[in-house]
């Protein structure tokens, strides 16, 4: 996951966009990795934001590859739309600095870190941003608060765990002009059910081939 091999495979699929995650090393380099540590995916366990980029590059993922940088993935994605989940504080300015070197890139940002998204909209007002709310910080996210925070940071949308999806949040978001997507939807049956009640919502999935049978049938 989040390796060059996995992102290349995802880009080859019939999807509207590809999502990946970024962290900041102790010396300010932006790298692509889901977790805050390398325990699950690499040959050694280190905490990314406490490790220099050089040290991180000495590790090998379980598929034999190195942990990629944000720039590595931008080069690979070219003009294919991507969504970047910001996992650490202090990433926004460096992400936009790198992004400025790739004018063909089509990028949106996602994060539970409101300040990072607010900074991105401040520096790049046209860039899409989506906020989500972690279970650990908000056991039952309150619809009014979710929408209020999204509007305060001028986010373009809300990303919401499928377990938290509800008609009140959806209705408030739509009335406020916010986009919404829900994650992670693993079956076409669930996607079809949700599409009835939330017709303007988008889906994040690890199994696009299943959802495409419903949303993109072969004629």
- 12 has pLDDT over 70: yes
> pLDDT (tens digit, 9 = 90+) per residue, 177-215?
999 999 999 999 999 999 999 999 999 999 999 999 888
Enter the tokens of residue 34: 């889901």
> pLDDT (tens digit, 9 = 90+) per residue, 111-138?
999 999 999 999 999 999 999 998 655 5
Give me the pLDDT at residue 210, please. Answer: 94
Give me the pLDDT at residue 139, please. Answer: 56
For a pLDDT cut of 70, what percent of the chain falls above it? Answer: 96
Give me the pLDDT at residue 215, please. Answer: 86
Give me the pLDDT at residue 140, please. Answer: 59
Strand ranges of the sheet holding 179-183, from the earlier edge strand across to the other edge: 30-32, 18-24, 82-86, 107-111, 129-131, 157-161, 179-183, 202-203
């Amino acid at each position: 996951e989040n390796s060059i091999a996995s992102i290349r495979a995802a880009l080859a699929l019939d999807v509207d966009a590809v999502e990946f995650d970024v962290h900041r090393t102790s010396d300010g380099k932006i790298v692509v990795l889901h977790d805050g540590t390398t325990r699950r995916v690499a040959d050694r366990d280190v905490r990314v934001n406490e490790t220099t980029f050089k040290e991180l590059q000495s590790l090998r993922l379980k598929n034999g590859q190195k942990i990629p940088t944000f720039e590595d993935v931008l080069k690979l994605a070219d003009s294919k739309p991507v969504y970047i989940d910001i996992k650490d504080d202090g990433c926004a300015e460096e992400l936009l600095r790198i992004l400025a070197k790739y004018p063909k890139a089509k990028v949106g940002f996602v994060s539970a870190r409101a300040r990072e998204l607010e900074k991105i909209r401040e520096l790049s007002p046209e860039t899409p941003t989506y906020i989500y709310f972690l279970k650990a910080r908000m056991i039952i996210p309150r619809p009014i608060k979710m929408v209020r925070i999204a509007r305060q940071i001028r986010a373009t949308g809300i990303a919401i765990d499928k377990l938290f999806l509800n008609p009140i949040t959806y209705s408030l978001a739509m009335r406020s002009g916010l986009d919404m997507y829900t994650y992670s939807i693993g079956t076409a049956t669930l996607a079809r059910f949700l599409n009835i009640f939330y017709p303007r919502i988008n889906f994040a999935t690890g199994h696009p081939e299943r959802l495409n049978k419903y949303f993109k049938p072969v004629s």
